[in-house]
Structure 1
Amino acid sequence: MDWSTVVKQTYRLFGVWRLLAAMLVMAYHFAHSAPNPEPVVKWFEHMLPLLDMFFIMSGFLIFEHYGRMENTGENYAGFLIKRLSRLYPLHLITLSFFVAFAVLVYFGLVNSQGADTRYDLTALPANLMLIQAWGVDSELTFNYVSWSLSGEWFAYLIFPVVLFAFARGRAFGLALLVATIIVALEIADHGATEKYDYWFNTKLWAAYRVAADFCFGALLCVVTRQIKVPRRCQWLAWGMFGGVFVAMFSEANIYLTLGLFGVAIVLAALADRTGKDETAWLDPVMPVATVSFGIYLWHPVIELFAYSLLWKRLIGIDDPALFWLFLPLPMILTIGVALASARWFERPAGKWIETTLVGLIGRRRLSRQQV
């Protein structure tokens, strides 16, 4: 069933920017194991809004491919099956490492400071159902970055609302939906004092943050269709992307930062729509860029072995110079694991999930018709 009337477009700038964001997030988390990590961790934290870029681009790309889908229950079920088969294998395989470690902790075979929090087995059902970022937990558990997958899944679940808003009001309808979500989030933020209590930083109830970003991305997709490609668009996009970093490091208002992200993303999309392959010079990076989300999900697994076990417990050298010399090794390993996982596990497992669920729905539909 083909729901899209849009020719598949390769967005190279999107891929490279997401790869850069994934690498920076990975370096940020690895840096927590450094001797005296506070200065460098604080430096990295200026770039936390890069996480929102993932979800804005996701909303853009999903709407690009499914925005013309007829808003019916049958299409919705097929859409969810396709999206679940895309993200769940990666979630399941990365989660399994932390569950195995939690079992070792539970039986006292290894010690961990997170035994009662991060490795709390009672949080496993929420992780398996991808609802851990819906406000059901008080701690990030197991693969702590999987809150992003939970938020992404929530965005897929509300996709019919996005389609409805677009059908009723086009760009204005999507803008109104984004504004409504943000107003609701700001009201929920009332009285917040801690940094991670605000909607644009939260992870424990990040599903609603992701919903805002996702809908904003859908709006940008519609806006992009209505704009003519300006000259030197690629370099305008890079320049605006640089402006986003200036805004982040100057601690600009979050709405200004997200607005700059929006302009950069629109320009990046237009640059890849020129038909002249202006961004073809990025092709050598694309095989790695396509697994940027895999890098993001796999790096806590590598962190568990490379830092929690190898660096801290076996090597045990408190030398900053050696730490930063060691840092590229687990980063390179993460990229290799993400590439292997995508090829040898995620794609085959995703096809199996999709085939199985489509067949199951087909059998149920047939049995209802026969009654």
Structure 2
Amino acid sequence: MRQNYRLFGVWRLLAAMLVMAYHFSHYAPNPAPIVEWFEHMLPLLDMFFIMSGFLIFEHYGRMENTSDNYVLFLIKRLSRLYPLHLITLLFFVAFGVFVHLGLLHSQGADTRYDFSALPANLLLIQAWGVDSELTFNYVSWSLSGEWFAYLIFPVVLFAFARGQAMGLALLVAAIIVALEIADNGATQQHDLWFETKLWAAYRVAADFSFGAFLCVLTRQLKVPPRCQWLAWGMLGCVFAAMFSDANIYLTLAMFGVAIVLAALSDRTEKDETAWLEPVMPVAVVSFGVYLWHPVVELFAYSLIWKRIIGIDDPVLFWIYMPLPMVITIGVALVSARRFERPVGKWIETSLTGLAKQRVLSRPQV
């Protein structure tokens, strides 16, 4: 099976663009109606994590579940995630320093730029329930959740080894039951498990495990005729479900069907998704678009739109919006090539060397 799924890439890019537009729309004159419209599509975030579980299991699902392999797996994943997290976090740390020095002003001085939350952000545990607010790069909760999913990957491998697809299905069910119990037993008001960001690590664990289950399921299916268009059609049904406020489990199940069809569409001999190839250089940095857009938002909206342009004109706002979106894509492309890849390679090489030294230093039996 091809390891580079084009529909996955395009759909993740679409989700990243919609999330970016959602956050930018908060600066619109009378933003409430448009913000509410975008909020119907928030389950798209779960699509990120389901696809991530699918792809990680595709690459590592046959990995022997040993401590040495686990360490190397974490090194590879950390080297992929952390450079992007670090560089975007540093922008907000610098901004926070200026805010606390009184050189810049922000309503979130004591919450979003609370430096007591910086260690949790550096350790990627900010979405594990350790903070009461989203801090610094507020969308990095997703990276924190993704890191948690990587840490529990041996559990996913164990479930698969014990029960194949059924084992993974039981794992997903167990996580969801635990989340539902936690929701019902909470003593204070908080987001539901499928909406929360402060406790997103456990939400991501459910999505990630579901993606692994879909990967195993896909291996057992034949490619139906016109599979690509069935996948697009099912994605359209998912959007219809989101805008009709359908039950979250129905929506996630439909996402599962769409993702399976999207994966199968890249198994056809005729290479049906080849027409998407020109989009792939941008699609591969979709997570970069997602992580970088709050940084661009600082300059394009908090500074230029609000303080320099300062015109409360809805027409001008929508004319202006494509500019920071295009800039975000450009920044993500440059960041991936000039910073994330070389720094990630250095992290992987350095940590892998340390891991191998640890193995060699073990006493021989």
**TM-score (structure 2 length as normaliser):** 0.98
For 1:361 and 1:202, locate their aligned partners in 2 and report how far apart those are by CA, in whole Å: 35
For 2:330 and 2:151, locate their aligned partners in 1 and report how far apart those are by CA, in whole Å: 32
Question: Does 1:137 find its partner at 2:131?
Answer: yes
Question: Does 1:340 find its partner at 2:325?
Answer: no
Q: In the alignment, residue 255 of structure 1 is paired with which amino acid?
A: Y
For 2:189 and 2:240, locate their aligned partners in 1 and report how far apart those are by CA, in whole Å: 20
User: Which residue is 2:234 aligned to?
Assistant: 240
Of residues 200, 212, 218, the one that matches 1:224 is 218
Q: 1:194 to 1:225 in 2, by over 3 A?
A: farther
Aligned residue for 2:361, secondary structure, equals: helix
**Structure 2 gaps, min length 5:** none
Question: Does 1:23 find its partner at 2:17?
Answer: yes
User: Which residue is 1:117 aligned to?
Assistant: 111
Q: In the alignment, residue 230 of structure 2 is paired with which amino acid?
A: L
Question: Does 1:306 find its partner at 2:300?
Answer: yes
User: Which residue is 1:4 aligned to?
Assistant: none
* Count of aligned residue pairs for this structure pair: 365
For 1:346 and 1:260, locate their aligned partners in 2 and report how far apart those are by CA, in whole Å: 34
**Cα shift readout 1:192-212 (whole Å, capped 9, x = no counterpart):** 699961000000000000000
User: Which residue is 2:250 aligned to?
Assistant: 256
Q: 1:202 to 1:221 in 2, by over 3 A?
A: same
For 1:210 and 1:245, locate their aligned partners in 2 and report how far apart those are by CA, in whole Å: 21
Aligned residue for 1:279, secondary structure, equals: helix
Q: 1:195 to 1:40 in 2, by over 3 A?
A: farther
For 2:322 and 2:172, locate their aligned partners in 1 and report how far apart those are by CA, in whole Å: 39
Cα displacement (A) at 1:361? 1.6
The answer to whether the 8 A contact 2:2-2:267 is kept is no
**Equivalent runs, 1:1-371 vs 2, <5 Å:** 8-190=2-184, 197-369=191-363
Cα displacement (A) at 1:370? 8.3
Aligned residue for 1:296, secondary structure, equals: helix
Cα displacement (A) at 1:111? 1.1
The answer to whether the 8 A contact 2:2-2:266 is kept is no
Q: In the alignment, residue 305 of structure 2 is paired with which amino acid?
A: W
For 1:165 and 1:330, locate their aligned partners in 2 and report how far apart those are by CA, in whole Å: 44
For 1:194 and 1:20, locate their aligned partners in 2 and report how far apart those are by CA, in whole Å: 35
**Cα shift readout 1:262-305 (whole Å, capped 9, x = no counterpart):** 00000000000113210000011110000000000000000011
Q: In the alignment, residue 365 of structure 1 is paired with which amino acid?
A: V
Q: 1:133 to 1:163 in 2, by over 3 A?
A: same
Q: In the alignment, residue 218 of structure 2 is paired with which amino acid?
A: T
Q: 1:17 to 1:37 in 2, by over 3 A?
A: same
For 1:366 and 1:294, locate their aligned partners in 2 and report how far apart those are by CA, in whole Å: 37
For 2:145 and 2:358, locate their aligned partners in 1 and report how far apart those are by CA, in whole Å: 29
The answer to whether the 8 A contact 2:92-2:136 is kept is yes
Q: In the alignment, residue 274 of structure 1 is paired with which amino acid?
A: T
**Cα shift readout 1:297-341 (whole Å, capped 9, x = no counterpart):** 000000011001111112111111111110000000000000000
Aligned residue for 2:245, secondary structure, equals: coil
Q: In the alignment, residue 209 of structure 1 is paired with which amino acid?
A: R
Q: In the alignment, residue 62 of structure 1 is paired with which amino acid?
A: I
Q: 1:63 to 1:151 in 2, by over 3 A?
A: same
The answer to whether the 8 A contact 1:192-1:198 is kept is no
Aligned residue for 1:197, secondary structure, equals: coil
The answer to whether the 8 A contact 1:195-1:201 is kept is no
For 1:348 and 1:370, locate their aligned partners in 2 and report how far apart those are by CA, in whole Å: 35
**Cα shift readout 1:234-284 (whole Å, capped 9, x = no counterpart):** 110000000000000000000000000000000000000113210000011
For 2:187 and 2:75, locate their aligned partners in 1 and report how far apart those are by CA, in whole Å: 39
The answer to whether the 8 A contact 1:175-1:216 is kept is yes
For 1:200 and 1:84, locate their aligned partners in 2 and report how far apart those are by CA, in whole Å: 25
The answer to whether the 8 A contact 1:181-1:212 is kept is yes
For 2:200 and 2:227, locate their aligned partners in 1 and report how far apart those are by CA, in whole Å: 33
Q: In the alignment, residue 334 of structure 2 is paired with which amino acid?
A: A
Q: In the alignment, residue 38 of structure 1 is paired with which amino acid?
A: A
Cα displacement (A) at 1:82? 0.2
Aligned residue for 2:301, secondary structure, equals: helix
The answer to whether the 8 A contact 1:118-1:139 is kept is yes
